[in-house]
Structure 1
Amino acid sequence: MGQQEQVATSLAGAFSEEISASLAPVDAELERRYPGDPGTRQPVHTVYVPGEVFQADTIRSWGDQALASLDEHAPDAETFAKVLGLSDELAAPVYDRVRAKLEREPVEDLRVDFEDGYKGKDEDGDAARAAQLIADAYKNGTAAPYMGIRMKCMEAPVRDRGIRTLDVFLTGLMEAGGLPEGLVLTLPKVTYPEQVTAMVRLVEQFEKTRGLNPGRIGFEIQIETSQSILGADGTATVAKMIDAAEGRATGLHYGTFDYSACLGVSAAYQASDHPAADHAKAIMQVAAAGTGVRVSDGSTNVLPIGTTEQVHEAWRLHYGLTRRALARAYYQGWDMHPRHIPTRYAAVFAFYREGFEAAAKRLAAYANHVDGAVMDEPATAKALAGYLLRGLDCGALDTGEVTRLTGLTLARLQTYAGPRRADLTASAK
């Protein structure tokens, strides 16, 4: 008893070892290239604010402007729901959560812009000021979860200026106490992998100069040119860019208007749901899958300003584009105006709340080995857990209701989402 029953085999045990030895390089390569999602929170949006405009109260100002817009154009849940086509069941929960979010955390990710949106005359001064303001915000608790800058690109006419601005900004942060945990940098208009390599060398040298741990500084790659999707040799350049980043790439951000213009799309049709945009983002998504690099959608330039009718029309457009992106697994996008934020959060909260009960029950059935109408596999359980955790991260869902419907503790839920989520939870204890 207790011994495994002997069965007949034809291959010697050493053969399995030979196979494993032959695949060891592939195993290592898979682990290096495809570590999986980092398991950390992903912001639902990125807000861009010109460097000369950014102030200590910018985040609170955006929240206040968004709340004022609701007060003026959708003062109650019924009105807001009617504008966006929300169901009666979702109307109050979504509206109440949107208002609470705007009061508590109106911006999840803020990028001080020193590229296209920058019109200042003293870039050194504005970069140094941005560093001090961001450092102060993290110290006094008024920062967004993620903050940083978008520098100028690595193209020859602006390269030196971009390098200097990044140096001034990072140096300012170091002098103010060190790099904040939520620091994010964006490198725009990347066309060749060599430009990514140059960015790697740049932050690598800064780390050495300032005595930082190797790999401390990561960055996002902004996809705004056709060459960044398809190279002259017919290959997907964006995949080479991720490799060139040497593990430092944190995201791929789609630039709606620069990319559309690059392809010759006329201004009236430049939008995140244009077929050209769908093609680019699909390539980005496939290239990034499993690498730990996250994909972000672009923005709309139709602003919710003017009469109530005009605001409602712009809100409907923004809401629809955001919901469309979420269904395609683009969980982050850009917001260009404070009045975009109400519909950003409305779309995100509706997306998670309307699918919450079904996802929770499916995950509970999987966890308890209960047969149901849908037969789920481990990969689906991972997706279900990830969906619930994203809803928790942004405030669409509450821990209590997720625990109640799934029967899972937060720690166990995170283990279903993947080892990196579980590792982060364990290390935080």
Structure 2
Amino acid sequence: MGQGQQEKVATSLAGTVSEEISASLAPVDAELERRYPGDPGTRQPVHTVYVPGDAFAADTVRSWGDRALAALDAHAPDAASFAAVLGLTEELAGPVHARVRAKLEREPVEDLRVDFEDGYGNRPDAEEDEAAARAARIIAEAYEDGTAAPYMGIRIKCMEAPVRARGIRTLDIFLTGLMESGGLPDGLVLTLPKVTYAEQVTAMARLLDAFEKAHGLEPGRIGFEIQIETSQSILAADGTATVARMIQAAEGRATGLHYGTFDYSACLGVSAAHQASDHPAADHAKAVMQVAAAGTGVRVSDGSTNVLPVGPTAKVHDAWRLHYGLTRRALARAYYQGWDMHPGHLPTRYAAVFAFYREGFEQAAARLSRYANRTGGDVMDEPATAKALSGYLLRGLDCGALDNGEVARLAGLTRADLETFAVPRRGDLTASA
């Protein structure tokens, strides 16, 4: 057959077959859109800092930054010494150290949670009432004067019977205080801890629905994170994955799943000396969380280390190396957020994050450029890979590891271009699979 000859096209099915199949799958299509809307495309903070309700103050964010800078000055005052502690290459040493210092000066905390649960404990009702009201006032003022972290909020007590009423009252006082101070900030985040049953998540959703109705807010305006700290939150009595049901029980309000390193480990009987985010029990729990959350728009956060970088320089360096290694390990496993428990953790949090993005961004930018321009290369990429590459670059930009200019220069793409690749339509991901 000659190249110019038109190919004969023949079919066997009646035209109504496709329509009938589409009609039969319409409920499935709707279910996919509802349950798996995909990533929201918003910024995900690289960490969450927890501060007890009685210790939270107007200068907390700046104080953490100043203490972190003081730790750097005392224990790794220049790029070479910091790189030697963490094993950074000569190429990364200067840029990472400079960006860590700039980050600590400009935006030392990305996400702050005022803690009214384990970090606060049980106090007289009047004392917790006052602390919740004060937290609302300080956070409202911080967003008003520009000193707030990008994300701020509270962790209440859990939905278990002994502390349920106290947690509900604290949440009510806090949210009401924000409303009376001008409204809910865009960066508001709430955390529900020690969730065991999906019904507790539904209860939280109903509570927030009632608050929205009381204040005439848009339905679904207030979301919350679910903290995974019990074995029952991973595996239910009937053998199913409870965490998957929890996401649905939130009725569209779940924004994150946060792994609680020490409560979860203790729940499984792991001895205190071995309770860490790289324990096999932790890896299993986070893998289940990750699969349950995939495609739902709910983000997963790793836990923390309780080894604090305090004391003599040698001890600080040991704690820094541990924290840096755990953070890099988490990033490689696609856990892009974790907890930090001490200002001294901030230098290594940002060093790990910045090194992760800077050491791979040139290759990622080049691959995405070739994909966007349909030029050749040694890797055959497809839409799903383009999504991963652009997501990687966007996360690097959001945290300050990368600059718009250098990414645009290497990839030939604007941030808007990256966002288009990072949040494609559902059909775009399957078209070439």
TM over 0.5: yes
2:29 to 27, 30, 40: 27
For 1:113-128, list aligned pairs within 5 A. Answer: 113-119=115-121, 121=124, 122-128=127-133
2:144 to 139, 146, 171: 139
2:293 to 284, 288, 295: 288
Match of 1:375 in 2: 380
Match of 1:401 in 2: 406
Instruction: String of CA shifts for 1:103-139, please: whole Å, max 9, x gaps.
Output: 0000000000000000455000000000000000000
Distance 1:12 1:279 in 2: 49
SS of alignment partner, residue 234 of structure 1: coil
* Structure 1: 4+ residue segments shifted above 2 A: none
Match of 1:424 in 2: none
Match of 2:430 in 1: none
Distance 1:200 1:407 in 2: 43
Distance 1:229 1:220 in 2: 15
For 1:80-159, list aligned pairs within 5 A. Answer: 80-119=82-121, 121=124, 122-159=127-164
For 1:166-177, list aligned pairs within 5 A. Answer: 166-177=171-182
Distance 2:69 2:101 in 1: 7
Distance 2:75 2:42 in 1: 35
Distance 2:19 2:8 in 1: 20
Distance 1:179 1:339 in 2: 31
Match of 1:266 in 2: 271
Provide structure 1 residue ranges, at least 5 long, that are not aligned to the other structure. 421-429
Distance 1:412 1:281 in 2: 31
* Corresponding letter in the other structure for 2:197: Y
Distance 1:397 1:339 in 2: 23
* Corresponding letter in the other structure for 2:396: G
Distance 2:415 2:113 in 1: 31
Match of 2:396 in 1: 391
Match of 1:202 in 2: 207
Instruction: String of CA shifts for 1:337-388, please: whole Å, max 9, x gaps.
Output: 0000000000000000000101000101111111211111110010000000
Distance 1:169 1:251 in 2: 20
1:304 correspondence with 2:297: no
Match of 2:62 in 1: 60
1:219 to 198, 217, 224: 224
Match of 1:348 in 2: 353
1:232 to 214, 237, 246: 237
Instruction: String of CA shifts for 1:376-413, please: whole Å, max 9, x gaps.
Output: 11100100000000000000000000000001122111
SS of alignment partner, residue 109 of structure 2: coil
**RMSD, matched Cα:** 1.0
SS of alignment partner, residue 264 of structure 2: helix
1:358 correspondence with 2:363: yes
Distance 1:100 1:34 in 2: 38
SS of alignment partner, residue 65 of structure 2: helix
Instruction: String of CA shifts for 1:48-93, please: whole Å, max 9, x gaps.
Output: 0000000000000000000000000000000000000000000000
Moved more, 376-385 or 410-419: 410-419
1:332 to 326, 333, 337: 337
How many residues are aligned here?
A: 417
* Corresponding letter in the other structure for 1:378: P
Match of 1:75 in 2: 77
Instruction: String of CA shifts for 1:145-170, please: whole Å, max 9, x gaps.
Output: 00000000000000000000000000
* Corresponding letter in the other structure for 1:316: R
* TM-score with structure 1 setting the length: 0.96
* Corresponding letter in the other structure for 2:261: T
Distance 2:154 2:109 in 1: 15
Instruction: String of CA shifts for 1:24-69, please: whole Å, max 9, x gaps.
Output: 0000000000000010000000000000000000000000000000
Distance 2:97 2:15 in 1: 63
Shift of 1:256: 0.1
State whether residues 387 and 424 of structure 2, in contact with CA within 8 Å, keep that contact through their aligned partners in structure 1: no
1:190 correspondence with 2:195: yes
SS of alignment partner, residue 306 of structure 2: coil
Distance 1:156 1:238 in 2: 21
Match of 1:7 in 2: 9
Distance 2:420 2:160 in 1: 43
Identity of matched residues, % = 83
Distance 1:368 1:133 in 2: 49
Distance 2:76 2:382 in 1: 43
Shift of 1:6: 6.3
2:418 to 410, 413, 422: 413
SS of alignment partner, residue 199 of structure 1: helix
Match of 2:281 in 1: 276
* TM-score with structure 2 setting the length: 0.95
* Corresponding letter in the other structure for 1:327: A
Provide structure 2 residue ranges, at least 5 long, that are not aligned to the other structure. 1-5, 426-433
State whether residues 225 and 256 of structure 2, in contact with CA within 8 Å, keep that contact through their aligned partners in structure 1: yes
SS of alignment partner, residue 32 of structure 1: helix
